[in-house]
Amino acid sequence: EDQVTQSPEALRLQEGESSSLNCSYTVSGLRGLFWYRQDPGKGPEFLFTLYSAGEEKEKERLKATLTKKESFLHITAPKPEDSATYLCAVAGGGADGLTFGKGTHLIIQP
Amino acid sequence: DAGVIQSPRHEVTEMGQEVTLRCKPISGHNSLFWYRQTMMRGLELLIYFNNNVPIDDSGMPEDRFSAKMPNASFSTLKIQPSEPRDSAVYFCASSFRTGVYEQYFGPGTRLTVT
């Protein structure tokens, strides 16, 4: 059974204070790892897909990296508008559906 | 494009009643997914369709849950009879092709069963 563990559960940062969110996974045959952002009362919003170890992707202040056992979402000089819950998900085996972690609730204080 | 459309956005019903949730995927997308989100269990896959055909329904909790996709632009998730433990936010997502690609989520339906 695929498993995804995210840490920390919650993180409070000052504006401009860079940090990283962790996503550890156990999956039989990783086919893709996904990062989503979810704001309160809304559906998850797609950020990145990573397909193989060593791959990196960037978007504005966010950078996602992937190893064989975990992924990191690096947030550089965050702003209050980056406050949200960040979800990590994997697709493994022969199925297209995603297995999600519980998320990291990120708060950026001005 | 309008994005994934779900209705209703909120549903409050009494235990034992039938509930039907609706989803319109993004036009041209070939895969559709139903997820459920609760505080305790997070986001869980219930069922997904490729080209309107159900592929994996192993996440459907029990026989009270059923899903259909009669055409490429419409899907329903039905709960009959509903129970208080079914209270959750139900999301529909679609992907532009079959396989492992990014899924685009709708705004969700918040279901409360009293």
Where does the pLDDT of residue A18 fall: very low under 50, low under 70, confident under 90, or very high at 90 and above? Answer: very high
pLDDT tens-digit profile of A53-92? 999 999 999 999 999 999 999 999 999 999 999 999 999 8
**How many Å apart are CA B18 and CA A71, to the nearest integer?**
41
For residue B1, the model assigns a pLDDT of 64
**For chains A and B, what is the number of CB pairs under 8 angstroms?**
58
For residue A68, the model assigns a pLDDT of 92
A34 and B102 within 8 Å at the Cβ level: the answer is yes
Rounded average pLDDT over B65-80: 97
Where does the pLDDT of residue B102 fall: very low under 50, low under 70, confident under 90, or very high at 90 and above? Answer: very high
Where does the pLDDT of residue B100 fall: very low under 50, low under 70, confident under 90, or very high at 90 and above? Answer: confident
For residue B99, the model assigns a pLDDT of 79
Nearest to A97 by CA among A25, A24, A31: A31
Say yes or no: B53 contacts chain A, CB-CB below 8 A: no
Backbone angles phi and psi of B42, in degrees to 5 = 70, -155
A99 and B45 within 8 Å at the Cβ level: the answer is yes
Rounded average pLDDT over B36-53: 96
By Cβ distance, the residue of B56, B95, B108 closest to A95 is B56
The pLDDT mean for chain B works out to 95
Backbone angles phi and psi of B48, in degrees to 5 = -140, 155
Say yes or no: A99 contacts chain B, CB-CB below 8 A: yes
A96 and B59 within 8 Å at the Cβ level: the answer is no
A chain contacts of residue B93, beta-carbon cutoff 8 Å: 43
**How many Å apart are CA B93 and CA B102, to the nearest integer?**
10
Residue length of chain B: 114
Where does the pLDDT of residue A45 fall: very low under 50, low under 70, confident under 90, or very high at 90 and above? Answer: very high
Where does the pLDDT of residue A13 fall: very low under 50, low under 70, confident under 90, or very high at 90 and above? Answer: very high
B45 and A87 within 8 Å at the Cβ level: the answer is no
pLDDT(B51) > 70:
yes
pLDDT(B89) > 80:
yes
B48 and A96 within 8 Å at the Cβ level: the answer is yes
B chain contacts of residue A87, beta-carbon cutoff 8 Å: 43
pLDDT tens-digit profile of A20-43? 999 999 998 899 999 999 999 999
A43 and B106 within 8 Å at the Cβ level: the answer is yes
